Amino acid sequence: MARSTFVYVTYIRTTPQKLWSVLTTDVDFMKQYWFGVHCQSEWTAGSSWKMLSANGQILDAGEIVEADPPRRLVIRWQHQMRPELKAEGDSLCTMELEPSEGAVRLSITHSIEREPSKLIEAVSGGWPKILSNLKSLLETGSIALQEPYPKKA
């Protein structure tokens, strides 16, 4: 099977509506859990999508393939910064939100039609950190990975 896929799942004590908004339109919230990064899009099928760094550089770009709020979002996703990753072309990122006993099961499936893939290798380091930060921020109001140095006692 010439395809590389990663699947990440986390359960977050929130509502599908809230989770959908912080994955899409709530840019300020997104910057907090995504290490300064945010996305720009109309969030409807066919609209363009891009991910911008804190200083406004386009990191990734593509388009929304499917948008069914607050259940399912599919993004055609191409990296833009590193030539060797950009050369791999489009990947597909699917986000699924499913209510689960007072929480929401968020699953993120990121795949590309090639094996091995440097892109999938690169994003696989980031997703678990982003998702656990997102979970902490929604559940406790603060992120897990905070300032690198503690205050002196």
Phi first, then psi: give them for residue 131, nearest 5 degrees: -70, -35
**How far apart, in whole angstroms, are the C-alpha atoms of residue 100 and residue 47?**
30
In whole angstroms, the minimum distance from the beta carbon of 141 to another protein comes to 16
Considering the rule CB under 8 A, would residue 13 count as an interface residue with another protein?
yes
**Among the listed residues 88, 116, 97, the one whose alpha carbon sits nearest the alpha carbon of residue 23:** 97
Tokens of 96: 């699924």
* Three-state DSSP state, 58: strand
Eight-class DSSP state of 146: -
| Residue of 10, 15, 21, 25 that binds another protein (CB under 8 A) | 10
Size of site (CB under 8 A) for another protein? 31
**How far apart, in whole angstroms, are the C-alpha atoms of residue 99 and residue 132?**
18
In the range 52-81, which residues lie near another protein by CB under 8 A? Answer: none
* Three-state DSSP state, 36: coil
**The residue to which tokens 């999508």 are assigned:** 49
**Among the listed residues 97, 50, 42, 53, the one whose alpha carbon sits nearest the alpha carbon of residue 76:** 50
- Residue 40 or residue 136: which is nearer to another protein going by CB? 136
In the range 97-116, which residues lie near another protein by CB under 8 A? Answer: 98-103, 105, 107, 109
- Residue 35 or residue 127: which is nearer to another protein going by CB? 127
- Residue 11 or residue 35: which is nearer to another protein going by CB? 11
- Residue 84 or residue 115: which is nearer to another protein going by CB? 115
Eight-class DSSP state of 70: T
Considering the rule CB under 8 A, would residue 118 count as an interface residue with another protein?
no
- Residue 52 or residue 104: which is nearer to another protein going by CB? 104
Binding site for another protein (CB under 8 A): 1, 5-11, 13, 98-103, 105, 107, 109, 124, 127-129, 131-132, 135-136, 144-145, 148-150
